[in-house]
Structure 1
Amino acid sequence: MKITKKVLRNVSLTAHPQGCAQYVSNQIEWVQAHAQVSDDSRYPASKNLVLPKRVLILGGSTGYGLSSRIVSAFAAQADTINVSFEREPSETRTATPGWYNTMAFEREARKAGHKAESIFGDAFSDETKQATAELIKSLLGQVDLVIYSLASPLRTDPKTGLTYRSVLKPIGKPFSALSVDLDCDVVKTATIEPAQGTQVEDTIKVMGGEDWSLWIDFLLQEKLLAEGAMVISYSYIGPKVTYPVYREGTIGKAKEDLEKTAAQLTKKLASIKGRAFVSVNKALVTRASAVIPVVPLYMAILYQVMKERDLHEHCTQQIYRLFTEKLFSGKAIPTDDEGRIRVDDWEMQDDIQSEVERRWDLQKEGEPLQGADLEGVYSEYEQIHGFGFDNIDYDEDVDPRII
C-alpha cells in the first residue's frame, strides 16, 4: 500500500516504516559520531566516561525515551529493555511510529552486539511490571539505570481497577493566547476551558509520580536494581507565556507531584546507594507537545532564536548532554534549588527568553507568523512519524508490516 500522511487536529494518524528507520538511523549516526572523538566541547566524547551498561527505559519508543535508549546503546554500549504501549501493523494499517522505531533500533543495536528487547503492553499494569521483571532477570540480571518517560492519556490503577484520564487544561479560569497549527502559519487565538470536577486529581493520577514510585518499589522488592542504580524521570517547565496551560495547569500539577516523588525515591534507594532525579528538558517536538495549544507557536519562535545562536538541540543531543555533562561526567551532579537537573538551561537563558518574548509581541492574530521557524517544527513532526525524508520514495508501495 502507499503510505501517506494523514493528520487530524495536529495528530498524525499514520507512520512510515522506512522513514521511521531513517529517523532512528540518523540519531544513531549522530551519537556514534560524537561518542569516540568529538570536536564539540558541548558534546564531549563518551568513551572515557563510566556509563551505565544495563538500562531499563519505560516509554523508550519515541521522543526523549527513544533518545535515552539510543544514547545508552551507542554512547554507553549498554544493553537495553524498553516497555511501551504500541499498536502493531496489519496488512492495511500502519503501526504506531513507536513500534517502527523500536524494530529499527533493536535491529541496529543487535548488529552492534548489544542486547535489546521490548515488552509492548500497559506499563501501568502489574502484569507488565511482572513480565519486565522476568525479562530483566533472564537478559540483564539487574539494571544500573531506569528511565521513566511515560506519557499517556489514561491510566488504570492496578490496586483499585479505576481508570483515570489526563487532561491538559488551565485551572480556575479559561486561558486564551496566540497559537498556530503546524501546517498553517497564520496566527490565531486559542482558548482552553478550565479543568472541571476531578480532572486535576485525575491528571495527577495519570502523569504524576505514583506509577514511577510503584515501578521503583517493585524493582527494589525484586532486587533488580544494582548497587548505585540511578532512576530518572523527565519533566518540563517552560516559559511564563505557557504557564497557565502547562506549569500552572493540570499537567503542571502532575509534574510537581512527579518532582516531589524524586526526593521520596532517593530515600528508598539509599539502601542500595542509589538516587532519583527529575530532568527538566527543553521544549521539543513530540507526538504530545504538538497538540498542546500555544506550544507550537512558542516552539516555532524558540527554534528560530536558538538556531540563530547555534544552540538548538534535538532530543538525542539533549539526552547525550544529560548523560555526559550532567549524570555521568564524574563530577557532582548539578541541580537547581528544587533538586532538579536542568537540561533546559540553554532554552531558559535570559537572552534567549527575552528575544522569544520580543518576537512573541510581534505576532498578530490573522497574520502570518514572523521571525519564527514553523517549517522546522513541522519538519520535525513529520520526521518523528517517518515522513519528510528526501531519500525515501513515498509514492512507492510499502507493506506496513515491514520491520
Structure 2
Amino acid sequence: MVIKPKVRGFICTASHPKGCIAHVQEQINYIKQEITDVPANAPKNVLVIGSSTGYGLASRLVSAFGYGAKTLGLFFEKEASERKTGTAGWYNNRGFEIAADKAGLWHKSINGDAFSHQAKEDAIKIIQEEMGKIDLVVYSLASPRRQDPDTGDVYKSVLKPIGDMVTCKTLNTDKGEVHDVTIEPANDDDIQNTIKVMGGEDWELWMNALDKAGVLAEGVDTVAYTYIGKKLTWPIYGHATIGKAKEDLDRASHTIHENLQSKYKGSANVAVLKAVVTQASSAIPVMPLYISLLYKVMKEAGVHENPVEQIKGLIHDQIVNGQAIYDDTRRYRLDLKELDDSIQDRVESLWDKASTENISEISDYHGYKHEFFKLFGFEVDGVDYEEDLDPRI
C-alpha cells in the first residue's frame, strides 16, 4: 500500500515504516557526531522503561550509539498487519534494532505491559542471563491508563485543574484554529487515579524488583522524566491533576535515592525536560499552542533543542560528565533555557495576540506540524512517500 498520514484529532492513526526508521537514523547520526569519546564511567548496561518514542527512545539511542552499551528496552506497541500499519513506536524499535545489529550492539526488547509483574520478571531474567548488572535505569513511561499488578484495578489519568474550572486558549493543529477550551475541575477520584498512573509508584516497584533480584550495579543511576513549565502551562501542569502526579514522582525519587545511596552509592533523580512535540504533549490542552509559540521564540534566540539533543545533554553532559544542574529538590534541570524570563515574556506577548487568522505568522505552527508528522514517520527527508509498501516490515 501507499501509506499516507491519517490524522484524527491529536493523533495520527497511520505510521510510515521507512519514515520512522529514517527518523531514528537521523537521531543516531546526531549522537555519533556529538559523542566521539566514551568516558570510563559511561553506562554499560542500560534498562529503558518506555523506549519506543520520544525521550525514552532518545535515551536508548544515546546509550547504545553514544557508548556502545547493552540496552534492554520495554514498550507497548502494535505490530503491523497486511492491511494496517503498526504504531510508530513499533517501527521506531525496528529502526533501532536494524541499526544496532549493523553496529554489532547487543540489545533485547520486551513488548508488553511495563506496569505488570510479568514484564519485571521477564526483564530481570534477561538481565541475569545475558547482560550483567544494570548501571542506568531510565523510566520514561507515558500512558493514559495503568492496571494495578496486585489488585487488577484499572486507573485512568485525566487532565484537569484542581479547585476551579479553567478557560484558556488552545490550538487545533489539524485545522489550524485557535479557540478557547474550558476544563472542568477534578474531583478526588480524578486526582488519585492520575497519581496512580503518572506518579512514582511503578518506578518504585521497578527499582524494588531490580534491587531484590540483585541486578543493580555499584553506583547505579536511575532517572525519570517530567515537565513543569511556567505561567502559561501552570493551569494544566501545576495546580492540576498532572501536577499532583509530578509531586508523587518527586516523592518516589527521594525514597528510591535513599535506598540506592545506602546499598550501592547510587542515585535517583527526576529530570525536568523542555516542552517538545510528542504523542503525549499533543493530547494536552494548551500545549500545542504553547509549543508552537515557544518553538518560534527559542529558534529565533538560537536555543531550541529537540528530544535527542536534550537527552544527550542529560546523559552525556550532566550524568556522565558531571556537569549536573540541580534545583533545590535535586532534580536535573534541562528546561532552564525555556523558562528564561526573556523567552517566557516573548511567548506570553505572542500568546495574547494569537488567533486563527495570525497563527501561521506569529508562531512556528508549520514547524510544530512538521515535528508532529515526523513522530509517525512522515515528512522525513529522503523517504519516497509514493512507494508501494508492505507495512509488515
The interval holding the TM-score normalised by the smaller chain is over 0.9
Structure 2 gap ranges (5+) = none
Q: Counterpart of 2:308?
A: 316
* CA distance in structure 2 between the aligned counterparts of 1:194 and 1:398, rounded to whole angstroms: 46
* CA distance in structure 2 between the aligned counterparts of 1:3 and 1:49, rounded to whole angstroms: 45
Are residues 49 and 90 of structure 1, via their aligned partners in 2, closer, same or farther at CA, if it must alter by over 3 Å? same
* CA distance in structure 1 between the aligned counterparts of 2:2 and 2:166, rounded to whole angstroms: 41
**Aligned-pair distance for 1:117?**
1.0
* CA distance in structure 1 between the aligned counterparts of 2:133 and 2:287, rounded to whole angstroms: 39
Residues 203-257 of structure 1: per-residue CA shift (max 9 Å, x gap): 1001100000000000000011101000000000012111111222111110110
Q: Counterpart of 2:331?
A: 340
* CA distance in structure 2 between the aligned counterparts of 1:334 and 1:259, rounded to whole angstroms: 16
The answer (yes or no) to whether the contact 1:306–1:352 under 8 Å persists in 2 is yes
Matched position secondary structure for 1:339: coil
Q: Counterpart of 2:58?
A: 67
| 1:12-27 equivalences in 2 (<5 Å) | 12-27=12-27
Aligned: 1:254 with 2:245: yes
Q: Counterpart of 2:299?
A: 307
| Greater fraction of residues in helix | 2
* CA distance in structure 2 between the aligned counterparts of 1:340 and 1:124, rounded to whole angstroms: 24
The answer (yes or no) to whether the contact 2:354–2:362 under 8 Å persists in 1 is no
Residue 306 of structure 1 aligns to which amino acid in structure 2? M
| 1:107-118 equivalences in 2 (<5 Å) | 107-118=98-109
The answer (yes or no) to whether the contact 1:286–1:384 under 8 Å persists in 2 is yes
**Aligned-pair distance for 1:12?**
1.0
Aligned: 1:329 with 2:346: no
* CA distance in structure 2 between the aligned counterparts of 1:387 and 1:226, rounded to whole angstroms: 40
Q: CA RMSD in A?
A: 1.3
Matched position secondary structure for 1:251: helix
Q: Counterpart of 1:265?
A: 256
Aligned: 1:34 with 2:34: yes
Residue 325 of structure 1 aligns to which amino acid in structure 2? D
The answer (yes or no) to whether the contact 1:186–1:368 under 8 Å persists in 2 is no
| 1:50-65 equivalences in 2 (<5 Å) | 50-65=41-56
* CA distance in structure 2 between the aligned counterparts of 1:184 and 1:93, rounded to whole angstroms: 25
**Aligned-pair distance for 1:169?**
1.2
Q: Counterpart of 1:241?
A: 232
The answer (yes or no) to whether the contact 1:49–1:330 under 8 Å persists in 2 is no
Q: Counterpart of 2:4?
A: 4
The answer (yes or no) to whether the contact 1:166–1:206 under 8 Å persists in 2 is yes
* CA distance in structure 2 between the aligned counterparts of 1:226 and 1:265, rounded to whole angstroms: 15
**Aligned-pair distance for 1:142?**
1.4
Structure 1 gap ranges (5+) = 37-45
Residues 50-96 of structure 1: per-residue CA shift (max 9 Å, x gap): 31011000001000000000111111221101011111111111111
Identity of aligned residues (%): 46
Residue 69 of structure 1 aligns to which amino acid in structure 2? R
How many residue pairs are counted as aligned between the two chains?
A: 391
Taking structure 2 as the reference length, the TM-score comes to 0.97
